[in-house]
Amino acid sequence: MKKLLILGAGTAGTMMANHLSKKLNNNEWSITIVDQYEKHYYQPGFLFIPFEIYSEKDVIKKKQDFLPEGVEYIQKKIEIIEPENNRVKLEDQTVINYDVLIVATGSKIVPDEIEGLEDGWRVDIFDFYTIEGSIALRDKLKEWKGGKLVVNIAELPIKCPVAPLEFIFLADWYFTKKGIRKEVEITYAIPLDGAFTKPRASAVLGNLFTEKNIQIVPNFNISHVDAENKKIVSLDGKEVEYDLLVSVPTNMGDELIERSDMGDELNYIPTDKHTLQSKDYENIFVIGDAADIPASKAGSVAHFQAEILTENIISYINNRPLEAKFDGHANCFIESGYNKAFLIDFNYDVEPVEGEFPIAGIGPFSLLKETRLNHLGKMAFKFIYWNMLLKGMPIPAVPPHMKKSGKKI
């Protein structure tokens, strides 16, 4: 019996378990998936919790409920990957030998990478990338009377690069509904040279910040937080004062990758951006946020990758060349408040442009345009995630490779 081992039962790992349990011959292959946590989070939903649009029940379910029968699930912490010996050790010293390994250990925020961030943590400094953070921020916002709200991205890359924009737009709407928008000054301090960096998106979205009265501090690479004096300081000495700081701290791959000496300076694994095979070990594949590839760290990316990677794993175990190529395809809604949203669809080579999605000439969704229907799509996505995506079911009319039809390229 050969062993296919998956590390991580988040979005990417769960989808791979579901795909492969259908494709692999279960007389020849056994599949094991390891993850230390019991709960599966619908991470795109964290954004809505601070504004009381979603609550805990919308975003938390049991991992086990989404794993197929016949796949062995081990809920333990992983100690180390030993790629030279084709084996993984768990915290309790259990050894699992594998023939093929899929690493899907994701990425997470690491607040202690930024000096001073933890001094005011969950007092007047919050995040919305964890369940605990988004709940704490919800409770803070309920009682907050206004002042300087600063949203800061510490460094790139981050998970779901559009989420901080959505947070700002939803905050603007939330304070307006509460009748205290005039008392709130919203500032967006980021390392990039603008809120929008791609020409076509900038042309369409560029005015939103002025319209919504949001200040931008570009080229702000954070050095440290002075929590006592409530200001963030950049590497070149720029200062931005806050009353409430919503931080997107440094994102990093799991410490397991560092312990196993398999990652780059952010613990991401060097991976072929098309085949998803590790650059160093031919029987190791990497999917989702754990890879160092220049695609967005997002669930839609993991979904498209999962279809490609399934094909390549089947090719690999049959000694055939890896012919399926991931094109960097991502598909993301951008909530803009007032029950409206934008939708973007892009890949490594094609930036977000206007058009219709998923069907040319029909839609029903509009690309790079603010519509109510896009918002309804975003809200419907929670159902699709729990009921289709995790189970590896294809989404009608949305293949893994980006379609050029329907786009004004």
Partner 1 sequence: MAEKVIAGYSVDVTEEGYLTDRSQWNKEIAVELAKEVGIEELTEDHWKVIDFLQKDFEENGKMPTIRRLKKAGNIPTKELYDLFPDGPLGKAAKIAGLSKPASCV
Residue 371 touching partner 1 (CB under 8 A): no
242-245, Cβ contacts within 8 angstroms, sequence gap of 24 or more: 242/124, 242/148, 242/149, 242/150, 242/187, 243/124, 243/147, 243/148, 243/149, 244/124, 244/126, 244/140, 244/144, 244/147, 244/148, 244/149, 244/150, 245/120, 245/124, 245/125, 245/126, 245/150, 245/152
Is-contact 82 76, C-beta < 8 A? Answer: no
Number of helices followed by number of strands (H, E) in the chain:
9, 24
Residue 218 or 394: the one with the smaller Cβ distance to partner 1 is: 218
**Residue 333 CA to its chain's centroid (Å):** 13
* Shortest distance in whole angstroms from residue 290 CB to partner 1: 16
Q: How far is the CB of 39 from partner 1 (least distance, A)?
A: 28
Shortest distance, CB of residue 69 to partner 1, whole angstroms?
37
Options 168, 225, 290, 344; binder of partner 1; rule CB under 8 A: 344
Cα 46 from Cα 165, distance rounded (Å): 14
Which residues inside 209-228 make contact with partner 1, applying CB under 8 A?
A: 218-219, 221
Nearer Cβ to partner 1, position 68 or 191? 191
* 247 lines the binding site for partner 1 (CB under 8 A): no
236 binds partner 1 (CB under 8 A): yes
Site string for partner 1, 279-298 (x = CB under 8 A): -------------x-x-x--
Nearer to partner 1, 266 or 286 (CB): 266
Buried b (16+ CB within 10 A) or exposed e, 103-136: bbbbbbbbbeebebbeebbeebbbbbbbbebbbb
Bridge-partner residues for 341, per DSSP?
335, 371
Q: Is residue 198 involved in binding partner 1 (CB under 8 A)? A: yes
Binding piece for partner 1, criterion CB under 8 A, among 23-31, 50-58, 88-96, 326-334: 326-334
144 vs 346, beta carbon nearer partner 1: 346
How many whole angstroms separate alpha carbon 252 and alpha carbon 296? 14
Q: Specify whether the CB–CB gap between 62 and 40 falls below 8 A.
A: yes
- By beta-carbon proximity to partner 1, the closer residue of 90 and 192 is 192
The minimum distance between CB 372 and partner 1, in angstroms, equals: 20
Which helix (H) or strand (E) covers residue 359, if one does? strand 355-359
Whether 260 and 286 have beta carbons less than 8 Å apart is answered as no
Beta strands at 107-109 and 251-253: parallel, antiparallel or unpaired = antiparallel
Rg (C-alpha) for the chain, rounded Å, is: 21
In which residue are the tokens 């930024």 written? 114
Burial class of residue 204 (count of CB atoms within 10 Å of its CB; 0-12, 13-18, 19+): middle
Stretch that binds partner 1, among 120-128, 191-199, 254-262, 369-377 (CB under 8 A): 191-199
Please report whether residue 155 would count as binding partner 1 according to CB under 8 A: yes
For 255, other C-beta atoms within 10 Å of its C-beta total: 14
Candidates 10-18, 88-96, 161-169, 392-400: pick the segment binding partner 1 (CB under 8 A). Answer: 161-169
161 binds partner 1 (CB under 8 A): yes
| Residue among 81, 205, 262, 313 that touches partner 1 (CB under 8 A) | 205
Contact call for residue 311 and partner 1 (CB under 8 A): no
Half-sphere exposure for 188 (CA within 13 Å, toward CB): 24
Q: Pick one of 55, 197, 210, 387: the residue that binds partner 1 (CB under 8 A).
A: 197
Q: Does 349 bind partner 1 (CB under 8 A)?
A: no
Q: How far is the CB of 268 from partner 1 (least distance, A)?
A: 10
Interaction between residue 376 and partner 1 (CB under 8 A): no
Minimum CB separation from partner 1 for residue 181, in Å?
A: 24
Among 34, 59, 102, 165, the residue binding partner 1 under the rule CB under 8 A is 165
Total residues binding partner 1 (CB under 8 A): 34
Q: Considering the rule CB under 8 A, would residue 346 count as an interface residue with partner 1? A: yes
Say whether residue 207 binds partner 1 (CB under 8 A).
Answer: no
Phi, psi dihedral angles at 113 (to 5 degrees): -75, -20
**Which residues of the chain form contacts with partner 1 (CB under 8 A)?**
155-156, 161-162, 165, 191-193, 196-199, 201-202, 205, 218-219, 221, 235-236, 264-266, 270, 273, 292, 294, 296, 330, 332, 334, 344, 346, 352
